[in-house]
Amino acid sequence: MGLKNQQEFLYIPLGGVGEIGMNMYLYGFGDKHDRKWIMVDCGIAFPDDSQPGIESIMADTAFIENEIDNLLGIVITHAHEDHQGGLNKLWPLLDVPIYATPFSANLINRKFAETDFADEVEFINVNQGESVDIGPFNVEFVPVTHSIPEANALAITTPLGTVVHTGDWKLDNAPVIGKKTDITRLKQLGDQGVLALVGDSTNVFRSGQSPTEVEVGQGLEEAIKGASGCIAITSFASNAARVYSVIMAAERADKQVVIAGRSLWRIIDIAREEGYFKDLPTLYDQNDFKNLSHDNLVVLVTGTQGESRAALARIAKGEHPAIKLKSNDTVIFSSKTIPGNEKSVSFILNELANADINVITSDQQTIHVTGHPLREEMIQMYGWLKPQIAIPVHGEAIHVREHMNLAKSLGVKNVIKALNGTIVQLAPKVKTQGEVEHGRIYEDGNLLTPAWGGPVKERRKLSFVGVVTVSVVFDQKGKLRAEPEVFSMGLPEFDDDGQSIFDLIVDKVDEIIDAMPKNTRKKQNAANEAFRIGVRRQVERAWGKKTIVKIMLSYID
């Protein structure tokens, strides 16, 4: 086989490197004329204040869409939104089978049920510990512990070697729900030879020993027994083990449990169907809240990250239709704030404080445990697998860099910095080969728009400088045929001298009309520009900002 047609084992991250969330990775095998691909995960990230009107953010799939005939399938490591939340939006662009464990497939299927293409999707269930052949790839689902059932590391094997893609994982000898990380199998893979480790970087700066989920359950029970009034507990809805721990801790504390939120009920129903929740006490819906003894309730709610539409935010603002907390009630945060969400969480904490509601966080008691490996656990993983190549993923730039430093200190021969879009040749030689097209896609209502070409930039500008619209009607001879109309949004009411900015704009429009020659009035482009520049300068003098000015110039007979 000549060099021009040599087989290569490639890795390309499209999302999930240098950021939290939006995980999407490609593995390719073959020569450049006949290369097959699989996608690992298809997740989302959530917008911040700089992306007004956007529901979610996904990695751009343009590159793999151009290779669509060679994409063999999408493999899902686990069912968290940042690893599968883009499937019900991007699948029609990809149209390939989805490989997932039964729990993950069940959850994803329920989301697909709300689309008009649900019947077209092919799911291939793979049980934990099993493997499946996908073209030239053999993919083994190796059980790992995480904050959701049936999380997996993937051992992806080709004729040129095996990559272990860790997904999200941790070590927990008492995970409550689901399997422990299969250390025995990881050691076997290491003994057989691991070409590359593509690994989680989230907690690379955190040392020490994480509590187990059993210890968290005990901490929750203590917190519930020591809390006053009605107790609301917020946790990630997808964390089935935590949902179970809260419910069982409440039962041990002789409390009734109310479930507030469709996403919580969904995870409970799926866990029951998949055989994980077999001994739950009676659970009540949020509509039962008013009929139950207020001080004997534990209410499980969504909204750990301060999401404005989640149950906790609405409760904190007194706007929830069913759940009403009183002074001296208690809210327990069984969670950690994700970087970037500090402001929204702080808002909720202050709203609760203003309402004289007690707050307990994981800084005060053992009521939360991370779902990602601490530094010592990462070191253990490297010891088991002994990879020739280390490629950090799943973390911001500072985490990726520190993970690279850690891998180097452990003697890994090749440590690769592969940012989103980077083409990495894993075999037969280790090298980077440039970049593929990559970026972000915004979910904007019912539409998917590229981040670089969508309306978000304009919305952001509107939020800072407002907009003025002026409507002027001339006849064909340049005579004014109606009173000009002015509309403004987002501007201050008065300037420093107490003058109405709106009145200043109206006066300026009249001034421009009076000064404009009839010959100019008949030239639409010239007249339009005179109005736009004049109004913009007037607002800038009064406010100090350059507002957006839209001129609607009409001509009638």
Residue 456, domain member (yes or no)? no
Residue 25, domain member (yes or no)? yes
Under DSSP, the state recorded for 338 is P
Report the pLDDT value the prediction gives residue 50, as an integer from 0 to 100.
Answer: 65
Q: What is the total residue count of the chain?
A: 557
What does pTM read for this prediction?
0.85
Report the pLDDT value the prediction gives residue 206, as an integer from 0 to 100.
Answer: 94
Per-residue pLDDT of the chain (557 residues), as tens digits, is 445 579 999 999 999 998 888 999 999 999 988 999 999 999 998 776 667 666 778 899 999 999 999 999 999 999 999 999 999 999 999 999 999 999 999 999 999 999 999 999 999 999 999 999 999 999 999 999 998 999 999 999 999 999 999 999 999 998 988 899 999 999 999 999 999 999 999 999 999 888 899 999 999 999 999 999 999 999 988 889 899 999 999 999 999 999 998 899 999 999 999 999 888 999 999 999 999 999 999 999 999 988 888 899 999 999 999 999 999 999 999 998 877 788 889 999 999 999 999 999 988 999 999 999 999 999 999 999 999 999 999 989 999 999 999 999 999 999 999 999 999 999 999 999 999 998 888 777 776 777 766 676 777 777 788 899 999 999 988 899 999 999 999 999 998 889 999 999 999 999 999 999 988 998 999 999 999 999 999 999 999 999 999 999 999 98
Dist. CA 112–CA 118, nearest whole Å: 5
* Dihedrals phi, psi of 556, to nearest 5 degrees: -125, 160
Regarding whether 218 and 132 lie in a shared domain, the answer is no
Which string of DSSP letters, residue by residue, matches 114-158?
Answer: TSS-GGGPPEEE--TT-EEEETTEEEEEEEEB-SSTTEEEEEEEE
End-to-end CA distance of the chain: 77
Residue 461, domain member (yes or no)? no
The structure tokens 């202050």 sit at 350
Residues in contact with 403: Cβ distance below 8 Å, sequence separation at least 6, in sequence order: 199, 201, 204, 378, 390, 392, 395
Dist. CA 213–CA 245, nearest whole Å: 8
Dist. CA 421–CA 423, nearest whole Å: 6
Regarding whether 73 and 139 lie in a shared domain, the answer is yes
Residues in contact with 311: Cβ distance below 8 Å, sequence separation at least 6, in sequence order: 234, 260, 261, 286, 301, 302, 303, 320, 323
Regarding whether 167 and 38 lie in a shared domain, the answer is yes
Residue 459, domain member (yes or no)? no
Number of domains observed in the structure of the chain: 3
Token pair in block for residue 239: 């964390």
Report the pLDDT value the prediction gives residue 2, as an integer from 0 to 100.
Answer: 45
Report the pLDDT value the prediction gives residue 1, as an integer from 0 to 100.
Answer: 40
The structure tokens 């507030």 sit at 260
Regarding whether 161 and 19 lie in a shared domain, the answer is yes
Regarding whether 327 and 274 lie in a shared domain, the answer is yes
Residue 2, domain member (yes or no)? no
Regarding whether 273 and 199 lie in a shared domain, the answer is no
Residue 410, domain member (yes or no)? yes
Which residues, in sequence order, are bridge partners of residue 323?
A: none
Report the pLDDT value the prediction gives residue 275, as an integer from 0 to 100.
Answer: 92
Report the pLDDT value the prediction gives residue 454, as an integer from 0 to 100.
Answer: 65
Residue 523, domain member (yes or no)? yes
Dist. CA 557–CA 555, nearest whole Å: 7
The enclosing domain of 519 has a CATH number of 3.10.20.580
Regarding whether 159 and 38 lie in a shared domain, the answer is yes
Regarding whether 71 and 193 lie in a shared domain, the answer is yes
Report the pLDDT value the prediction gives residue 439, as an integer from 0 to 100.
Answer: 87
The structure tokens 């480790």 sit at 197
- Say if residues 216 and 236 touch (Cβ distance below 8 Å): no
Regarding whether 222 and 182 lie in a shared domain, the answer is no
Regarding whether 263 and 114 lie in a shared domain, the answer is no
* 3-class DSSP assignment, residue 181: coil
> Among 360, 389, 406, where does a domain finish?
360
Regarding whether 57 and 172 lie in a shared domain, the answer is yes
Order of all β-strands in the sheet with 151-158: 131-134, 137-144, 151-158, 161-165, 196-200, 389-393, 414-415
Regarding whether 256 and 393 lie in a shared domain, the answer is no
Name the residue range of residue 477's domain.
466-556
